[in-house]
Chain A
Amino acid sequence: MLEKALRGSKRYYLWLAILAVLIAVGAAAYTRQLTYGLGLTGMSRDVPWGLYIAQFTFLVGVAASGVMVVIPHYLHNFRAFGRMVILGEFLAVAAVIMAILFVFVDLGQPTRVLNVLLHPTPHSIMFWDICVLGAYLLVNIVIGWAVLGAEKKGFPPPRWTRILTILSIPLAISIHTVTAFLYAGLPGKAYWLSAIMAARFLASAFASGPALLIILSLIIRRFTSFKVTDLAVDALVKIVCYAMIANVFFFLLEVFTSFYSAIPSHQASLRYLFVGLDGSGGLVPLMWVAAVLALAGITLLLVPRLRRNLRLLPVSLVAIFVACWLDKGVGLVLGGFVPNAFGRVTDYLPTANELLIICGVYALGLFILTILYKIVIAVRTTNEEELSKTDS
């Protein structure tokens, strides 16, 4: 089926070429980091995890969000999502690959990464995260490929893919729950030490992931003959909206507990993020942008007339997506490290080299996603053409 990815328009090749350049630049930046060490990043003794791990955390959420199409389609027979299921699965594949790559580029000794498998350590949440992420990646590749292969030959998908798809639902929930547990079980990190962490992670994932999926579907609809129906879009938009409301609600629960209890250690990170602490507040503007975007996005999606406006829809979805990214792909990880074990504030600012590596990983993910989507579209459109030929 891969041959389908080789035939495309000029625009398609141009897009891939741009991504390839970004990947190459990222790879060069990573080589620098590899030879010098993590000192080339903005990370420090006090902020040992930076944007890499934050991207990992965010992307695991994007990957998990595929279930928001799978559940209605497979468990509730909501057939309108039929065309979107495979898009969701392949988005999950690209997102998991990026997530894993972000962990990899974050390692101080990447050549030893297999030590995690050679010395399996069940008391480390990292071990479980790798297990569920690997399983989820595999399941999605296998399902997507099998379903598409059957479709190409004009057969219905084999029965076992259905079983595997249903299995992927708890797996999707587990990848993001376990990722939340990386943070939520650490004594002494008050901002993360919260029982609602996993729930908040899932809510934000189910808002940001499907938002991205809709944006991608709209782009595909615009540039190809592969049409996702309005009904499907509207249904998924509602899911995005309510998930985002839950996400904001969970966040406000954190704010209440921290500030009504008035325990200083529980307030410190939130203060640092939203008003600044001890004169440091580099993230403050970003967090307020996130807050405004979240509320604006929710309003735009909640009012039916605004939601159905297809011109406005991408704007609303981008607002939601960016808000979730700022919250989880920036603030959550960085905020948790402030203050440090001695009550001091250490700021983190990513370096240019670090940002290039991040761009490179995202470009690689987009490259993979483009190829996978190209194959989906090619298979589907040729099938439909043949169908219409036989019909006439």
Chain B
Amino acid sequence: MSELRRTQKDIKGTYVTKGTVPFVTYVPFMSLERREFIRQGFAAGLLGLGALGSLGALGTLVGCSKVAAPAATAPAATTATAAPAAPAAQRWGLVIDPALLVKTQAFNAVAQACHSHHNVPQISDPKTEVKWIWQDDFAHCFEEMDSAYLPAALRELQFPVLCNHCENPVCVRVCPTQATFKRDDGIVDMDYHRCIGCRFCMTSCPYGARSLNFCDPQPYIAQVDPGYPTRMRGVVEKCNFCVERLAQGLPPHCVEASQGAILYGDLDDPASEVRQALAGSLSIRRRPELGTEPSVYYLLRGAESPTDAPKGGEPHA
């Protein structure tokens, strides 16, 4: 009940379409509480608190979209009721096994799933492209660890890179409008409707994880997925750890498409799959010396050895 009252209070100051469709068409200035509301609203809806809560929450999210929303809510809502309760986490993290990803050749499927479901425009110009997840080699991803005599296998290995959902995110620190914010569960998320496009976050992110929509992205989206809002020109975007999927109790798209090479879970829970994987192998993170505490880990499970990669089979296949 208190949650319901909270939602009513928080919804003040936004436009809600008159009539029967309970979704917010225009959310000019979301406050932090509103994001809390989105999250709680999601959880409430999924826990079966009622169709209204669920639709309202989904609608809020879809409201950020230019896409026709009513059609969008329907399938999402059905998934929502069918899905199990969203698992909670103290700090979501990813553990990536790059060697396994090469072996399963799943990376293209991973990028494809992520980008198509999040309506990421496919722009070919590397200067203005928008990307949430892509690959690069060891020497470029881990410049400070590079050496001339690395095993050839490691040298040639491709590493998926994305937003690290830093524990101390610089992007959140510098954002002048809190359009980029860190959730209690550790995910660094964005409010595309609040972003003014100042690009301070792009300047400050030490991982190059952020992209600006240098022009209208719509023409570069082959097929709009109604399950996630599209963006407009002039706003920044990046990986969102599939918050919309987590809220439905589903794994992130990259995890699902990776055939076991990308694990997700609670880094604060010693029993979690990610912690088990980290306990069993050497792992590295990008630029840990900067104190940002990335939540994305890369396993080097003997994969760097040219003979038999990876050792110990595929425990999480």
Contacts and interface: CB of A to CB of B under 8 A. Distances in A.
B215 A115 contact: no
Contact of B199 (A48, A118, A121, A125): A48
Interface in A164-219: 182, 186-189
Contacts of B127: 44-46, 346
B194 A45 contact: no
A107 B196 contact: yes
Given A121-B175, A126-B174, A342-B143, A109 B195 contact: yes
B208 interface: yes
A119 B208 contact: no
B175 A124 contact: yes
A112 B178 contact: no
Interface string B181-213: 000000000000011111110111111110111
A8 interface: no
Contacts of A44: 127-128, 214
Interface in A261-284: 265
A39 B136 contact: no
B170 interface: yes
A20 interface: no
B304 interface: no
A342 B207 CA distance: 8
B281 interface: no
B136 A37 contact: no
Contact of B198 (A107, A188, A265, A340): A107
Contacts of B196: 107-110, 112-113, 115-116
Contacts of A182: 200
Nearest to A126: B176
A103 B200 CA distance: 11
Nearest to B204: A186
Contact of B197 (A38, A118, A186, A343): A38
A121 B196 CA distance: 14
Contacts of B129: 45
Nearest to A336: B203
A199 B177 CA distance: 28
B203 A342 contact: no
A109 B197 contact: yes
Given A115-B196, A124-B175, A186-B170, A45 B206 contact: no
A340 B141 CA distance: 11
Contact of A48 (B143, B177, B203): B203
Nearest to B290: A187
Interface in B138-177: 139-141, 143-144, 170, 173-177
B31 interface: yes
Contact of A121 (B136, B177, B203, B211): B177
A130 B176 CA distance: 10
Interface residues of B, number: 50
Interface in B212-263: 212-216, 232-236
Contacts of B202: 45, 48
B274 to A, nearest CB: 24
A37 B234 contact: yes
B176 A341 contact: no
A121 B212 CA distance: 21
Contacts of A48: 199, 202-203, 212
Contacts of B203: 48-49, 186, 189, 337
Contacts of B144: 265
Contacts of B206: 186-189, 341
A254 interface: no
A106 interface: yes
Given A121-B178, A187-B291, A341 B233 contact: no
B126 to A, nearest CB: 7
A241 B28 CA distance: 50
Nearest to A193: B290
Given A37-B214, A45-B129, A342 B136 contact: yes
A79 interface: no
Contacts of A127: 176
B10 to A, nearest CB: 15
A352 to B, nearest CB: 17
B198 A106 contact: yes
B179 interface: yes
A188 B234 contact: no
Interface in B7-35: 29, 31
B117 interface: no
Contacts of A49: 199, 203
- Looking at B143, B199, B290, the one whose CB has the most chain A CB atoms below 10 A away is B199
A108 B208 contact: no
Interface in A328-361: 337, 340-344, 346
A300 to B, nearest CB: 37
A123 interface: yes
Given A37-B233, A108-B213, A116 B177 contact: yes
A226 to B, nearest CB: 40
Given A119-B31, A341-B207, 13 more contacts: A38-B214, A38-B233, A39-B233, A43-B214, A44-B214, A48-B212, A108-B236, A112-B177, A115-B194, A116-B177, A118-B177, A123-B173, A187-B291
Interface of A: 36-39, 43-46, 48-49, 103, 106-110, 112-113, 115-116, 118-119, 121, 123-127, 130, 182, 186-189, 265, 337, 340-344, 346
7 contacts: A45-B129, A48-B199, A48-B203, A119-B178, A121-B175, A126-B174, A186-B174
